[in-house]
Amino acid sequence: MDCVIALDAGTTSVRAFVYDLKAGTFVHRAQQEVGQSFPKPGWVEQDANEIWYKAAYCLNDCIDFAGAANIAGIGIANQRETVVAWDRQTGAPVCPAIVWQCRRTSKFCSELPEETVRLIRERTGLLPDAYFSASKMKWILDNVPAAQRLLREGRLCLGTVDSYLLFRLTEGKSFCTDHTNASRTMLFDIHTLDYDGELLERFGIPRGVLPDIYPCDARFGEAVAGGARLPVAGIAGDQQAALIGQAALSCGDGKITYGTGLFLLFHTGEKCVSSDGLLSTVAYTLNGRTSYALEGSVFHAGSAVQWLRDGLEMIPTSAESERIASSVPDSGGVAFVPAFTGLGAPHWNSDARAMLCGITRGTTKAHIVRAVLESIACGARELLDCMERDSGVRLREIKCDGGASANGFLMQLQANILGVAVNRPSERESTALGAAFLAAVSLGEMGEEEIARRRTSERIFTPARDRAPFEALYRNYLGAVKRALYRPNSE
């Protein structure tokens, strides 16, 4: 076989890629934007049907390009945590999908009894939060009459986006998910790799409405697409797929995605490590072995650059931030904390607000732009410090991807602040690459050990010899974080 197809169902777009196994590159891609709606403050919804038909469109486009006979199979990567509810008989969604960003269940999650919080921490590796699927599923069961009716008739399906796409692709034959997507539901015991009966009970979710769970490299079913039948041979959540696409497959490997937000995954080997303020999650299960990761996210990274561009109109394009920040030797003592909607890991404080401090009469636009880029690199350092402390594992180097990884100044600064090399790949679509690798390994088209060879570096940013100035910069940033967290009126 010549190729595999990677389907990447992201939050803002659905894309499909043809990965040429011999050439080791993507040779074709198709993309469709996906809408979102915000019916109430803090609510975020999507139309699961739209996700499905746009995914089908992209897949058909790729199959047309490559020819079904040349395609070994399909790998799927997807936005995680988002919940779809549908009718098992027709595949039709019964209500809008509740997207991972949706905060409608925050109050419920903040009022969970101590004992449930402890169970969630111990068994799922997560922190109780509206972000994860469990409370969204409960909300549907409690509030959507059509879902309640289907439940009574034994026809209700509740699952993440991967399981919905798989269900539709296989014409309702496969109702399954993988270990990585399951590990984001807050219902899955990451140690036993199965749903946790007690948590299902506490959230009032019957096991029968949920998909069966398999390793990431399972044969999930046969997709009927483009007039052909193709095996779906790999599934992983987008961040975990990116870890695979970056060939970060050994303990101590890590990757940072610099997109709207910043996502750091740190491979802790076959040991599940817990850390205060960070999430423990399944990295992947491949060839019968389960690897774990610590995960931390900063809500605003590239979006802070967008704010400079659109909110303050300080820079014409996000890319210009590189030239402007480089035009000054340092930020002149200015520090920024991008806590626009609170602070994520490791602080988890939703009341904190963004902070720009250390301004003098000599401060210029360039200092502020530089301080914003510094805040992105420092946010990543805060996460890595926790990860190294709690896992006892030293990071070897960090692989980078996402829109803002194009910024050479930011990547060099990141290397200097972390004190480890930052390795930028030639193919920045790490998520899709991970889905392609998963499918190819699962189908026996390539060996697991080949993944590292197929991920090539475009540039490696090595840390400066004298790191003292960067330590000082980081301390200055931490001082600003303290101030962003300080709320005199709440005391």
| Contact range with ligand ADP by CB under 6 A, out of 128-136, 144-152, 177-185, 318-326 | 318-326
Nearer of residues 281 and 431 to ligand ADP, judged by Cβ: 431
Of the ranges 64-72, 190-198, 267-275, 297-305, which one interacts with ligand ADP (CB under 6 A)? 297-305
Q: Which residues pair with 358 in a beta bridge?
A: none
For ligand ADP, which stretch binds (CB under 6 A), given 203-211, 316-324, 333-341, 443-451? 316-324
Comparison of 185 and 321: residue with beta carbon closer to ligand ADP:
321
Q: Please, what is the minimum distance in Å from the beta carbon of residue 118 to ligand ADP?
A: 33
Residue of the chain from 174, 407, 430, 431 that contacts ligand ADP (CB under 6 A): 407
**Strand intervals (E) in 42-83:** 45-46, 71-78
Q: Which of 92, 82, 62 is nearest to 11 (CA)?
A: 82
Cα(234)–Cα(232) distance, rounded to whole angstroms? 6
Segment interacting with ligand ADP, rule: CB under 6 A, options 133-141, 195-203, 242-250, 397-405: 397-405
From the CB of 134, what's the least distance to ligand ADP, in Å? Answer: 24
Sheet holding 262-267, edge to edge: 279-286, 289-298, 262-267, 254-258, 397-401, 421-425, 457-461
Among residues 176, 187, 144, 165, which one has the least CA distance to residue 74?
165
Is residue 396 within 8 A of residue 332, CB to CB? The reply is no
Q: What is the CA radius of gyration of the chain?
A: 22
Q: Tell the smallest beta-carbon distance from residue 26 to ligand ADP (Å).
A: 16
DSSP state of 319: T
Determine how β-strand 228-237 pairs with β-strand 71-78: parallel
With CB under 6 A as the contact rule, the residue among 226, 402, 425, 434 that binds ligand ADP is 402
Q: Does 163 bind ligand ADP (CB under 6 A)?
A: no
State which of residues 239, 303, 430, 442 lies at the interface with ligand ADP (CB under 6 A): 303
Q: In whole angstroms, give the CA distance from residue 221 to residue 458.
A: 36
How far apart are CB 479 and ligand ADP at their closest, in Å?
A: 24
Can you give the length of the chain in residues? 491
Of 177, 240, 268, 321, the one binding ligand ADP by CB under 6 A: 321
Question: By Cβ distance, which residue is nearest to ligand ADP?
Answer: 403
CA 232 – CA 242 distance, rounded (Å): 18
Nearer to ligand ADP, 222 or 401 (CB): 401
DSSP codes, 391-420: H-PPP-EEEEESGGGG-HHHHHHHHHHHTS
Cβ pair 258, 410 in contact under 8 A: yes
How near is the Cβ of 389 to ligand ADP at its closest, in Å? 28
Q: What angle do CA 139, 143, 147 make, to 5 degrees?
A: 95
Half-sphere exposure of 198 (CA within 13 A, CB side): 10
Q: Could you please report the per-residue DSSP string of 351-394? A: T---EEE---TT--HHHHHHHHHHHHHHHHHHHHHHHHHHH-PP
Q: Before 211, cis peptide (omega within 30)?
A: no
Tokens of 437: 């690798």
Q: Looking at 170-293, list the stretches that DSSP marks H as alpha helix, in order from N- to C-terminal side.
A: 179-182, 197-203, 238-245
Nearest-angstrom CA–CA distance, 279 and 339:
19
Write out the two tokens for 20.
């040429």
- We find the least distance from the C-beta atom of residue 403 to ligand ADP, in angstroms, to be 2
Q: Under rule CB under 6 A, how many of the chain's residues touch ligand ADP?
A: 16
Question: What is the nearest approach in angstroms of ligand ADP to the Cβ of residue 321?
Answer: 5
Q: How far is the CB of 307 from ligand ADP (least distance, A)?
A: 9
Question: What is the closest distance, in whole angstroms, from the C-beta atom of residue 461 to ligand ADP in the complex?
Answer: 14
User: CB of 63: closest distance to ligand ADP in angstroms?
Assistant: 25
Chain residues 93-112 in contact with ligand ADP, contact rule CB under 6 A: none
Q: Is-contact 436 19, C-beta < 8 A?
A: yes
Nearer to ligand ADP, 156 or 422 (CB): 422
Binding residue for ligand ADP, selected from 101, 160, 177, 318, defined by CB under 6 A: 318
Interface with ligand ADP includes 215 (CB under 6 A)?
no
Contacts with ligand ADP, 251-280, as mask; x by CB under 6 A: --------xx--------------------
Nearer to ligand ADP, 231 or 302 (CB): 302
Q: Is there binding between residue 334 and ligand ADP (CB under 6 A)? A: no
Q: Under DSSP, is residue 348 helix (H, G, I), strand (E, B) or coil?
A: coil
Contact characters 8-37, ligand ADP, x per CB under 6 A = ----x-------------------------
Interface map 167-196 toward ligand ADP (x if CB under 6 A) = ------------------------------
Q: Please, what is the minimum distance in Å from the beta carbon of residue 59 to ligand ADP?
A: 20
The distance from CA 442 to its chain's CA centroid, rounded to whole angstroms, is 22
Contact between 305 and ligand ADP by CB under 6 A: the answer reads yes
Minimum Å gap between C-beta 154 and ligand ADP is 38
Residues in contact with ligand ADP by the rule CB under 6 A: 12, 259-260, 302-303, 305-306, 318-319, 321-322, 402-404, 406-407
